[in-house]
Structures are given as structure tokens and as C-alpha cells.
Structure 1
Amino acid sequence: MKLRYTLLLLPALLAVGCGPSEDEAVVDELTGQVLEPATTEYDMHRLLEDTDITGGQWITVAQVQAFLQQKGSYLATYKDPAWNNKTAATLIVEQSKLQTINPLYMLARIQTESSLITSGTSTNLAKATGCGCPDSGGCSTSYAGFGKQIECSAKKLRGYLVDLDAGRATISGWKPGVLKSTSDPCSVKPVNKATAALYTYTPWVGAYAIQCGRTDIGGSSLVAVKYNQFKGEYNWGTGGSTVTCYSGTVEANVGVGVCVQSSSDAIWRQCQADGTFTAGTTTKPTNCTASWPYCSSATLGRSVPARTCVQSSGDSQWHQCGAEGAWQSAPTAPTSGTGPVGTCYATYAL
């Protein structure tokens, strides 16, 4: 599959209260797009677990829809006319489950290839998963369109797993326990089927693996970053009933265990199993599954609530306060009043 690049907005496992600054940016040498330095790295021989690729069969359309809304995604309102006007969330869940592929993995794949999960525009919609887009250039018109991209990606991955389950190498020669060179190049010996399948789809390690040393492209290691990031940003459950709490600060539903620092009084509240928030404390709970704290702004010289949009004094670009206190690029904020995590709580221009 043709390698795509994306802005790494929020790596998994960031330390609480820390994260990329609103001014920090690295230009991708191949595409000119922006990548942020890796703060979480993965073993290039074991990027994800097999269950990460094939699990999540309990994930619902409603959950994916809520997540897309939480991320301020263009896909939250998209319906594909070529698929009887089915919503993006419906296509992601239905096509993934049809091939016993994890819808959460599919979200990570979409973000890695096209940034559509966090983008508020339709750019790259026709090639959302990079399926049918070889490294040699160009994309097959046979797979153009969002629904076709999801279908193609799920089928391709299932095909790789069928070969691996039968003890065969994939179409490009990847197999657990077999040493093979990636396009970086790096010598990789996949530990499991998931990793072999990932390199079959995108034969680059990229910037977010411990051993390879590549710093200027995303690669398959970025899929692992995005998978774990998205896994921690929403309570996807484990197959039982799904409970959420609506947060006005986030302007979306959040999962049980998620902590939110309220924009109204800066008090921390945590979503409970009965769908309500705790009364709140001045300090952040220690058992948060994910969190929405205030973000520290060097431009303003103070911390601001989630969803706040600020034009940085460092690069004059707009950024929005997101999950885990990380700033996310928000180029549409001055015109639309929105960013990657929704409507701007407040806007501050230079």
C-alpha cells in the first residue's frame, strides 16, 4: 500500500500534564507535512498484538460515531452516496466486522493514511485507507471512495491473515519468525501475525519504533501509535454494556473512567459506571483511563480549558487544546471557530 503520512497529534502514554507544545513541529522530508517527535516508541518486531487487529468485535456504530464527533472529524457527518448514504461510522464498523477486523484498528489505519479522523475537511476522502495506492505512485480508481476504501482495506488485511493462519507468508513475503528488510530499510523479524500483516500493508517501520532510527516518515509504527492513542481516548468497553457521560467541557460523550477538568470551575470530575460524573476534586484522580486537562499556553502565559483555540506567538499558527493536555493543529479555527476536537471553547488571536 502506498505510504501515507500524518500529523502525530497525541502519542499514546504521554505523561499527565505534558505533551507536545503548541509550537513544536518537524517537517517530513518526503512530503513536507508536519510530524511531531516520537514520545512513545514500539518494538519494530512487535508493533501490535494479534488481538489488536482482530478483536473489538463488540464495538458499535454508536461508539465510533461518538468518537468521530469527539475528534471533530469530517467523517462524523459524512454519508457515502455510493453505499446507500451509509454513515462513515456504519461503513467502518460493518466492513471491519465483515472481515473480523477490529474497527479500532481501522480508525488507526484511516488516521495514518489520510488524517481523516482528526481532519475537519474531506481531503483524501477518496483514498482514506491508502488501499490500492502502491508506493510506485497513483491510486487505482477501482478503490476510489470512502466505502470502497474501507472495504478494500478490511479485505486486504483479512487476506494477509488467512495466509498467515495457514502458515504461509503473505503476498509480499512477510511471516512471523522470518527476517525481511523494510523499505526504510531495516531488518525486521515479526514476532506475530499482526506485525507481519502491518508490514505487508505498509512496508516501512517509520519514526515510532525503537530500533530503526528513521525520523522523517510515519510508517507502520505510526499505526501502532494511533491504535493505542485512540484506544485510550475513549471507553470502548470489553463486550458488555457501554456507558458514557456527556461532558460540556469536551462537548461530547466520554467513557467510564475518563477524567475531565471542567472549563467552568477547573474542578476534576470522573465519569462513573452509572453515566454520571463524580462531584469533583481540585486534584486529578489517579485512576483516569484518559483525561481532558487544561493545556499550558506559552503564548498566553497561563493554562486554558479543553477545546480552547490559540494563535501561537512562536509560529503564528492556530492550535487547539486537546486530550491529555496536548495542543493540536487547528488551521480552520479563525474562520470556522472549530478545530480537531470540536468547537473552540474560546479563541485567542495574536
Structure 2
Amino acid sequence: MNEHPVSSPPAQAPDQGRRRRQRPLGLLVALLVAVGTAIVPGSGATVAEAAKDPNTITKTPLGNFDPGNLITDEVFFTGSALSAGQVQAFLKSKVAKCAATDGPKCLKDFTTTTKSVPKNAYCKAYKGAKNEKASAIIAKVGKACGVSPKVLLVLLQKEQSLVTSTAPTQRQYDFATGFACPDDGGCNPENAGFFNQVYGAARQFQRYAVAKDVYSWRPAGKVHEIQYHPNTSCGTQTVLIKNKATAGLYYYTPYVPNAAALKDLNGNGDLSNKNTPNCSSFGNRNFWRGFTEWFGSTSIAVTGTVQKAWLANGGLDGTFGKQTKSQVCSKNGRYCVQTFAGGTLASNKTTGIAMPKGAVRTAWVKQKSQKGALGWPAAAVSCRKKDDTCVQRFTGGYVAQGRSTGTRVVSGGIAKAWKASKTRNGALKMPRANAKCTKAGTRCTQKFQGGYATAHSKYGNRAVVGKIATRWAKAKLNKGSLGWPTKNQKCSKVKGGKACYQYFSGGAIASHPRYGTRALTGKIGKAWVKTQKAGKSIGWPTGGRKCTTKKGVKTCTQKFTKGKITYKGKGAAKVVRSKR
């Protein structure tokens, strides 16, 4: 079976004759010979030979029109591209109010009883139903035959303007996709009806791709001569057909648009000029234009949860606009990201994540997106008015933005410390600077509104907050005598408030509402830490360390609520407990 469309103006023009596309299935064998001579079979040149006569790429307001790549296989043959609900929502968006009175209903409201079709070489089984909505038929046929419902929607519009028609006729439904409607004759009544048309077209596109013994004169991957018009005197264009989907479209509608048809994508081509012979055809132009206007790129698919997020944000006409890169997913398939003109859309299992252009997304992109330290987007950005802050979680950390703190990246071990501290809701609050790390990246410190977070290959991920953070900063942080925090602080309620202490690699810091905040370093610090860990605390420091030198020997003492710690010269520190 072969398709020969009548060349005609755009489908949207209500006064134009409907396009005819396809011969009846039963006539296939008889017509193969005639078809071969009528459409000027391709040269059969290889892809390598195509460089001698490459495709003519035409720049248009919608993008580059490549006659050899009208649509990719990935986009065309994704049968689950839209659910029935998504198709229904799309149809409703195209017709706000139906004007039909005595004829069939608009496509968004149309129902018909469908028959069950058993599994065959091209489609899985289709289970019929009573009063099935058009949207359900489109989605179910797409899934059964492995042809995108987006393709079927565009085909319905290209052939009969059914998607946007506010008062459709019965004929529009009877020959909805132009299936079994050859150029040189009327449409086959045996294939009439909305379901027969949608199913027949979808099945046929799979047949083009699979039945190579039948559809062998215009295979993908080779150069072919494609006619501009059924009138052979109009000539041909040399086209390298790059994939099965494009080959199928040329089997269905075997003409390529000429320069006049592409000059104005909504125009009538040569028909607009009475002094020029009519050599313009519009079928494949209208398909490419319709798909691009409704669903964006014909070469980049938008599917799954990312598509749900895209549609929820207005689709092609919304915040994110046209897709610019293909979707990329993690190895386990849990996380996915896709770039659009207006930002990035991501998914975490079944949850869509919107990342419009802005400071948070820019910070993530600068970190090499999902390939960087932040990893995959794990949740949508969370903003709140009370402090004018926004935080977005990623698999490897966070991006935090505040009016007074700027946009900061929190990743790796520091992100774990911030999370343990309840992020912006905890004592650390918002980050005030990006992390500072050693060249090897094994030791990092980051400043927050409420203190510091550290990541150390030996001492782990720690938060240093409050008065202890202030004292640590005074001691030059990790570069000073206290070194790195080795544990998170421990606090207890005491008279007058809360008392806390925290261990560091060079000692400890203790803070008490009555005695103040003290640094415990050197021999005294190590001795105090030892008593604490042994459960034999000598209490809270009541003052700073005091040292004297006599005859060249230095003696230092620091008092505590339960005694004192002292050392002399090179000797070890001694714990002297108070007598009760």
C-alpha cells in the first residue's frame, strides 16, 4: 500500500479541500509497480555518498527545516508520550467552546464505540469500549502501536483540522487521518470512522518501519529524489532520509515542500503567485510546523515526569518554552533532567521539579549541573517570605539564596552537617559564603549566619554554632591552636540558661552562662577533654589560663568549678580536684 497526497494549502484553511493520503490495504500488491514509477524511486546512495549532495537546510522562524530529518525516531515512536488525561487537557486547550449544533461534537467532546483489535505484527492488542473519548482512543492507539499521541494529534490537524475545529463535519471524522485516501480516488469507506482512521494510520506507520520487504524503495539512511509535487514537471529534491520516522512520513505523503512553501510556513506557497506554476506541497511542511508549534522540537523528546512538569508550567507556551537538550537520567532512572529555553525541568521518581532561570539554577549549572558536586535535583526550590530565603535540595547538597546572604552552594560533608543542623531552620541558619577547602578537597570550612560547618576526612562533618563559634573564630578557626572540631557540641540546661562544650583536635571550647566562653588548649585542654570522656568531669572553666615563669620554667593553671588543671615546664598536666 502506498500514499499519494493531493498537494494543497495548509490544513487550517477551512475552505480548502481535505488532503488525501493513502491507498486501501487490499490494493497494496497491485499498486507497488505503479507506485514505484509515480514517485521517482530514490537513488539508493549510501550515507557516505550523501556528502556529495547534502540536504538543503532551510532556516525558518520555528527553527531549521531539514527535509531528511522531519522528526526523530525517538520522538515519533514513543507511544506513551501522552496519557489520555494529557491528550484530553490538550484538546480542551485548543477549543474553549464548541459551536457544533446538529453535527458531530468537537474532538474534545467526541465519543464513539470502539472495537477490540487483536495483537498483530505491528500493534499490540487494543481493547475496545463503549462511548470511548477521542482522547482515550488517541492515547490507547499510540501505546498499542508505538506511535506518539503527539504525532497522531498533529496528523488529525494536518489532515482534517479536527483538533481546532469548533464545528466539525462527519466527513472530517470519517477520514480523520487521511488513511486509505489516495490521490487519484476517493477514500475507502471500509476504513471510514474516527477509530479506524487513527488506528489505521498508527498501524501503517509501524508497517513502514517494519515491513522492509514491502516498503523498500525509500529506506532510511540513503539518498533519494523526492518530488515537490504530484506534477512530475516540478522536479525533485535530493534528500538524505536519516531515520525510519522521516521515511514513513514520505511514504505517507511523498512530497517535499519547495522554497515557496517554506518561505511562509502559514502561506500558500506558489498559489500566492498567479505568475508562477504551482509546485508547492504542504503535507510534510504542515506536519513539521504543527508539531513544532504544539510540542516544540521534532528531534528532542519530552516524556515522563519531566513532561508532566513541563505541561503543568504551560508547555511550549509557558515558563520553560522549547526543549533545547535531550533528557538525561541517572543509572537507576530515579533522577532525570532536561534543559529548556527557560530553564531546567527535573524529576525525582514521580515528582516533577521546576528550575526556571535564576540565581539558584545558575549556581547549579556553574557546579557542572548533575555532573558536579551538587548532583541531581532532588526537590523543588522552597522559598519563604518571612526571611526572604530560598533553598533547593540536590542529591549532593543544597543551593541557598537569601537577600542578605547571596546565593551559596552547600555540598558534600558540609551539606550533611547543615542537614543535621536542620538547614536554615537550625542553629547554623543560612550560609554566608561558599566553602573553603584544601586543594585535595578533604578538609572544608563554610561560614553560616549562626556559625560554621566543617567537613574533615578524619573528624567527620561538624557544626560549630553560637558562642562557641565566636570563640573558635577568635582563635583563627581551624588554622589556630584549637584546630578542627572533632565532635558536635553537647549542651545541658543550667541555672541561667544553657551550658555547652565542643571538642576540637587541639582541645575544647566550653561556654557557660555564668562563667563565659573559654578555650581549652594545649596540655590543659587535652587533660580536660580526657576527664570529660572518662566521666570524671572537673567542671566548667571559670576563667582563662594563667601562666608564670620562674627561673626559666613556665607554670600554667586554669581553674574550673570542681578544681583546677596545672602543668609545670615539660611535665604532664595534673588535675587537682577541690576538696568538698
Shorter chain as denominator, the TM-score bin is: 0.5 to 0.7
Which residue of 1 is the match for residue 112 of structure 2? 80
**Matched residues in 2 for 1:133 and 1:174: separation?**
23
Distance 1:141 1:181, change over 3 A: same
Distance 1:223 1:245, change over 3 A: closer
How many residues align? The count is 240
| TM-score, normalization by structure 2 | 0.36
Query: Are residue 158 (structure 1) and residue 181 (structure 2) matched?
Result: no
**Matched residues in 2 for 1:50 and 1:62: separation?**
24
Which residue of 1 is the match for residue 226 of structure 2? 181
Which residue of 2 is the match for residue 224 of structure 1? 288
Q: Structure 1: 5+ residue runs without aligned partners?
A: 10-24, 247-252, 261-269, 278-284, 288-350
- Equivalent pair of 2:11/2:161 in contact (CA under 8 Å): no
| TM-score, normalization by structure 1 | 0.57
Code of the residue aligned with 2:112 in structure 1: it is: D
Query: Are residue 53 (structure 1) and residue 76 (structure 2) matched?
Result: yes
- Equivalent pair of 2:223/2:241 in contact (CA under 8 Å): yes
Deviations 1:11-37 (A, max 9, x none): xxxxxxxxxxxxxx9x99x8599xxxx
- Equivalent pair of 1:108/1:226 in contact (CA under 8 Å): yes
Query: Are residue 118 (structure 1) and residue 164 (structure 2) matched?
Result: yes
Distance 1:190 1:232, change over 3 A: closer
**Matched residues in 1 for 2:91 and 2:197: separation?**
17
Deviations 1:60-113 (A, max 9, x none): 000000000000072100001455211111111111111111111111111111
Distance 1:245 1:222, change over 3 A: closer
Deviations 1:155-198 (A, max 9, x none): 1001001135xxx5726644431413335243333122111111
Match 1:133 to one of 178, 181, 184: 181
Query: Are residue 201 (structure 1) and residue 201 (structure 2) matched?
Result: no
**Runs of 4+ in structure 1 over 6 Å off:** 272-275
Code of the residue aligned with 2:111 in structure 1: it is: K
Code of the residue aligned with 1:230 in structure 2: it is: W
Please report how far the alpha carbon of residue 203 of structure 1 lies from its aligned counterpart in structure 2 after TM superposition.
Answer: 0.6
Code of the residue aligned with 1:222 in structure 2: it is: N
**Matched residues in 2 for 1:116 and 1:7: separation?**
13
Which residue of 1 is the match for residue 140 of structure 2? 94
Distance 1:130 1:243, change over 3 A: same
Report which of the two structures shows the higher radius of gyration computed on alpha carbons: 2
**Matched residues in 2 for 1:259 and 1:183: separation?**
38
Distance 1:110 1:3, change over 3 A: farther
Distance 1:4 1:141, change over 3 A: farther
**Matched residues in 2 for 1:176 and 1:113: separation?**
27
Q: Structure 2: 5+ residue runs without aligned partners?
A: 20-59, 99-105, 116-129, 230-235, 271-279, 321-342, 359-580
Code of the residue aligned with 1:189 in structure 2: it is: L
For residue 121 of structure 1, give the secondary structure of its aligned residue in structure 2: coil
**Matched residues in 2 for 1:187 and 1:244: separation?**
37
Higher relative contact order (CA 8 A, sep 6+): 1
Distance 1:8 1:130, change over 3 A: closer
Aligned-residue Cα RMSD (Å) equals 4.2
Distance 1:56 1:4, change over 3 A: farther
Code of the residue aligned with 1:135 in structure 2: it is: D
- Equivalent pair of 1:3/1:130 in contact (CA under 8 Å): no
Distance 1:31 1:150, change over 3 A: closer
Structure with greater strand share of residues: 2
Please report how far the alpha carbon of residue 144 of structure 1 lies from its aligned counterpart in structure 2 after TM superposition.
Answer: 0.3
- Equivalent pair of 1:205/1:220 in contact (CA under 8 Å): yes
**Matched residues in 1 for 2:316 and 2:282: separation?**
31
Give the % identical residues. Answer: 28
